[in-house]
Structure 1
């Protein structure tokens, strides 16, 4: 049986007896001390005058200081660390609250600015829509009046009015230059029937 099997074996029959495992006791002590630091509880040795059992003798064995003064100084050192952590947490909480407040004010400013810009955009869009409607109605009325006057020989003038022959003002995405050139050539020399 090697040394590691002895730690995991049952207590009966191996000569260890009913003693507690020293490694487990040490780990339990360290975990309780770390839990005290993480919870900011610390050790209240100076308030009550008693030494905690985790710092004193346990079952005749001592993993920590042997006299009470050393235990108190050790506890004071452990208690000073949570105080600094507590101060840091308070400062961090204040900084985060300040950042949150700034973030909320900036967000509300952005929302107000976006609301104003959206209203302006809607106003511009409605204005543009009204202009387009007016232009389309006027163009429709002009086209209807042109259709009513059906004079022979004015066909090409009516076609020329419907086509935009200015290449720079064309709003179309397709190239219509060939169609434009065909219409111009037909206007200049009409087909003879």
Structure 2
């Protein structure tokens, strides 16, 4: 019996399991910190109040009072290590589409719409004014053309009557009629031919016709 007690007293003491400390009451800080982090991560993974649902919608715990916006971080921190689906950006994009349009963008769209409507109204007004002005100018042009045409007709009728009155040829007036068709004004251009001799002959025949 004494031998058994002596044998038992010589066996080495086993270190306490669980904390990895050698003996005594001291704990390893690194091991305790890792164990605490593992417990927290396991609790977060099992928590049903956080994360993104299977259908892609964001849970109410993550949405908060104003919902999940474009600025909400997807990763980072302890939550980002075990939360959400594999494609986190797809869930954020879907949440952005569900989010209402900002007030500044909506106001800008309304102002842009009003400005375009005002431009369209001004364009239609100017188009109507231009059409009215074009019609007025066209009517004035037609009036001027009609007046000019009437004057031309009157001048042509007068010339035709004068020509008809001079159509009868009397003896001794042949050269006088020929002289009426000629221009006896001398030409100052150097390139013109010299017709002074022909001009003098016609003038002499007009004044003293040939007598048969």
Q: Which has the larger radius of gyration?
A: 2
User: Which structure exhibits the higher relative contact order, with contacts defined as CA atoms closer than 8 Å and separated by 6 or more residues?
Assistant: 1
Structure holding more helix per residue = 1
